[in-house]
Amino acid sequence: MASLTETPLIETNGLTLHFGGLKAVDGVDFRLHAGEIHALIGPNGAGKTTFVSLLSGRRLPQAGTIALGKEDITRLPAHERVRKGIAYTFQITSVFPRLTVFDNVALAVQSLGPRDLAARTRAALARVGLEGLEAQEAQTLSYGHQRLLELAMGLALNPRLLILDEPTQGLAASEIDDFKTLVRSLVPATTVLLIEHNMDVVMDLATRITVLTFGRVLATGTPAEIRANASVQEAYLGA
């Protein structure tokens, strides 16, 4: 992992988005460093999904800035952020149920251009363990395999940053173990930002954790530091 003194891969300053009186994201300062698995946690309604929607360009902030490395991407549209290496699974990877597994991933690959389309598609499928299922319709896959297909579609973009929003939801215990192994294999080439309610997954995978509550950062630290933080215990983890 890169030194935390180096330029962050992603940095936000004063990032803000309110919906009427709801302060979904309220002046968030955040730093994500290359090569880490960084978890974003907090109670329902804390602003996690809105925050990553701002990072990915699905929404634009009312105030504050977002930098990718040293480049200001605050107003950059979502498709341009994809080209710069930011992949958000809920943005990029809606599975087309009637298309084959291969064609679902090929559509994502095609957004980067037609070169080596088949090889890049098969490589992404192999990386998540779906080789041999290329001709199967996506709707016939098990739920766990559909989530892996979504992940393959994101990985096919060769992202610098992969944002995973609740990726283990609905997975069986054995599938979660496989998922954790896969995520560990992505770094340091790909940086992972993980929104996840399963605290066992978070504490096992994350290098660092940021806790959001009421649209603001409550704490950032290592898993051990977050476990020991009295404010986090009170607001989210429970004593």
| pLDDT of residue 239 exceeding 50 | no
The confidence score (pLDDT) of residue 144 equals 82
pLDDT tens readout for residues 179-189: 999 999 999 99
Give first-to-last CA distance, the chain, whole Å: 31
The confidence score (pLDDT) of residue 5 equals 54
pTM above 0.75, yes or no: yes
Question: From the centroid of its chain, how far is CA 110?
Answer: 21
Percent of the chain scored above 90 by pLDDT? 73
Tell me the fold of 1-76+193-239: Rossmann fold (3.40.50)
The ranges assigned to domains in the chain are 1-76+193-239
Q: If you search the block for the tokens 């009637």, which residue do you land on?
A: 98
Q: How far apart are CA 68 and CA 32, in angstroms?
A: 10
| pLDDT of residue 100 exceeding 70 | yes
| pLDDT of residue 93 exceeding 90 | no
Contact by Cβ (8 Å): 36, 144: no
| pLDDT of residue 236 exceeding 80 | no
More confident residue, 124 or 169: 124
